[in-house]
Structure 1
Amino acid sequence: MRTRAKICGITRIEDVHAVVNAGADAIGLVFYPPSPRAVHTEQAQALVAVLPPYVQVVGLFVNSSQQEIEQIVARVPLDILQFHGDESPETCQQIGDAVGRRWYKAIQVKPDLDLKTEIERFQHAGASAILLDAWHPDLKGGTGHSFDWQQFPKMNLPLILAGGLNPDNIQQAIQTTQAYAVDVSGGVEAAKGIKDQHLIERFMQGVHCGSAK
């Protein structure tokens, strides 16, 4: 099975084109104002408007209210929600049902976390997948750090690998974890929120090579 790939933190139309041309499966739009990669509704609409079919749009939210997410989903055609804050399984399930979207939860791999139990909590609430990211005491993703890939579990649920991925390590990351999908942001950037077409192309080449082994 080939590994899917999402390029997150897209802010520019030219970066959408670069992602599509490189063969990624999804783009990520960040609806979290403190992030340097955040987009507003009108900007998100313009980005989605140039996407061709079969490339999905993931909306990333951090502790957003149901009302906030409903307002965005009403204006931006998101395919799936990514909860990247401290949301409980019940909150994720409630919001997903309310807006009629599939969802998955990002879990930071803390040293003392019972990872399988935590994954199962969200799986039972209806998560379509789980994203595993590096832990940081202050930042909600986009840290540029990775966790020990040997900790990546085997579960009967699609698992997405994130955290510190880049063109130089993505092939090894896939071969080590056998992740269903990978998620990159800072590892393919020239600056925060500004993607580098060459890095995206190299990253996707690594994804394809890693999947082929």
Structure 2
Amino acid sequence: MTVSAKICGLKTPKTVAAAVAGGASLVGFNFYAKSPRSVDPATVKRLAADVPTTVRTVGVIVDENDARIAEILGACELDLLQLHGHETPERVAQIRARFGKQVIKAIPVSDAADLERAAAYEDVADYLMFDAKPPKSMANALPGGNALSFDWTLLAGRRLQRPWLLAGGLTPDNLIEAVRISGAPMVDVSSGVEDRPGEKNISKIKAFLDASRRI
């Protein structure tokens, strides 16, 4: 079985090219200003220009208002929006309806109770993403990309109405095990293919995508 892979937090032409050449199904661009992976819409327009239509482009936003979303989409063409903040189901539905884009809603997970929150989003999001919830003790934690994982057995055998992605602490070395345990049909990686926050490693991108085809 091959899982679909999303390489997120891309900032340079070389890393975008590596993700495309390696067989990524989705490439993600982060518009969250506090992230070391943040890029501006004009840059994304240039980066996405060489992405083939067979690879879908994703814009990661965190609790943005309509004006900012419109600004982003007016400057660069994206296939999906990934909502990685505290967006309510009502807000997700509003964004999806207003902007006509498919939506990935990230759900932060630390225990089984967190997974129950996903049910409220299944009618309004096109995809769900389960990412590790940073502990309260973690200073300067980002909404995602913290190189943290959660207990993958929480997802084992769980039936969901929407396609979903596993995220959080995935690397080329643990990807196969993570998918085996969780049953994830799709995966997302950012920090796991970096040398340091915001600096992607082309060899690690290739290794991650190679691993996704060995499952």
Task: Identify the TM-score tier after normalising by the shorter chain.
Answer: over 0.9
User: Which residue identity lines up with residue 32 of structure 2 in the other structure?
Assistant: Y
TM-score (norm 1): 0.94
2:97 partner SS: helix
Q: Aligned pair 1:97/2:75, yes or no?
A: no
1:114: Cα distance to partner?
4.5
User: Which residue identity lines up with residue 184 of structure 1 in the other structure?
Assistant: V
Identity of matched residues, %: 37
Structure 2 equivalent of residue 53 of structure 1: 53
Q: Aligned pair 1:150/2:149, yes or no?
A: no
RMSD of aligned residue pairs (Cα, Å): 1.3
TM-score (norm 2): 0.93
| Unaligned runs of at least 5 residues, structure 2 | none
1:139 partner SS: coil
Structure 2 equivalent of residue 82 of structure 1: 82
Structure 2 equivalent of residue 182 of structure 1: 187
Structure 1 equivalent of residue 209 of structure 2: 204
User: Which residue identity lines up with residue 157 of structure 1 in the other structure?
Assistant: R
Q: Aligned pair 1:121/2:120, yes or no?
A: yes
Deviations 1:124-177 (A, max 9, x none): 2x2111100001134201110100000013313211100000000001111111
User: Which residue identity lines up with residue 104 of structure 1 in the other structure?
Assistant: I
2:18 partner SS: helix
User: Which residue identity lines up with residue 40 of structure 1 in the other structure?
Assistant: D
C-alpha separation between the residues in 2 aligned to 1:121 and 1:50? Answer: 36
C-alpha separation between the residues in 1 aligned to 2:161 and 2:185? Answer: 11
C-alpha separation between the residues in 1 aligned to 2:2 and 2:207? Answer: 17
* Contact 1:44-1:76 at 8 Å conserved across structures: yes
* Contact 1:174-1:207 at 8 Å conserved across structures: no
User: Which residue identity lines up with residue 119 of structure 1 in the other structure?
Assistant: A
C-alpha separation between the residues in 2 aligned to 1:168 and 1:114? Answer: 26
Q: How many residues align?
A: 208
Q: Which runs of 4+ in 1 moved over 3 A?
A: none
Structure 1 equivalent of residue 41 of structure 2: 41
User: Which residue identity lines up with residue 131 of structure 2 in the other structure?
Assistant: D
